[in-house]
Amino acid sequence: MRIHQKNSVAVVVDIQERLFPHIYEHKELEQNCQILLSGLQILDIPLIVTEQYPKGLGPTIESIQSVVSAYEAIDKMTFSCCADEKFIKILKKFGRHNVILCGIEAHVCVLQTAIDLREMGYQPVVVVDCVSSRKLKDKEVALKRMQQENVLLTSYESILFELCTVAGTDTFKAISRLVK
């Protein structure tokens, strides 16, 4: 199944200040997410940003906030984004089938969101180099579970070029500069 630009929306799940420094390979994750989100904006993919209990975990980290500043974060208490009414209302408004996911933690909020999206008839697409957990093993187990649940797994470079579809355009050139 191909992922098409006109039928896709992206969700940034809980990349927040107080938890982020404890995430496995967080510096690499930060760079990868910046590239992914910048590319998605070049491709005009709408974004939804969530924050899990921001009073305790803080806001979205500054480097990600600077990329997604046009989007107001949805405060949530539920692990799954899909259990939040405001999130579901915004998601439905876009009317798109494919939901591209990045964020933390892979084995909690990202996993539960992906499973719930699948149950609701959406096609979750998890960008594996743009999700992580505090422990590598938790991320690995989460990715295996997601595969069992028919969640599509991809990398940021792969999804950006898949959404781009054709070389030689200004969009392609901008994406190419990002991934170099």
**164 has catalytic annotation:** no
Q: Which of 116, 114, 117, 138 is nearest to 127 (CA)?
A: 114
The CA dihedral of 59, 65, 68, 71, to the nearest 10 degrees, is: 40
* Residue 31, H or E segment: helix 26-42
List the domain boundaries for the chain: 5-179
Q: Exposed, middle or buried by CB within 10 Å (0-12, 13-18, 19+), for 132?
A: buried
Active-site residue, 109 included: yes
The active-site residue, picked from 81, 82, 109, 130, is 109
Is 76 annotated as catalytic?
yes
Beta bridge partners of 127: 154
Candidate list 33, 76, 82, 102, residue with the active-site label: 76
Identified catalytic residue from 14, 84, 116, 129: 14
CATH of domain 5-179: 3.40.50.850
pLDDT tens, position by position, 14-33: 999 999 999 999 999 999 99
Span 92-118, pLDDT tens digits: 999 999 999 999 999 999 999 999 999
Strands 123-132 and 98-104: parallel
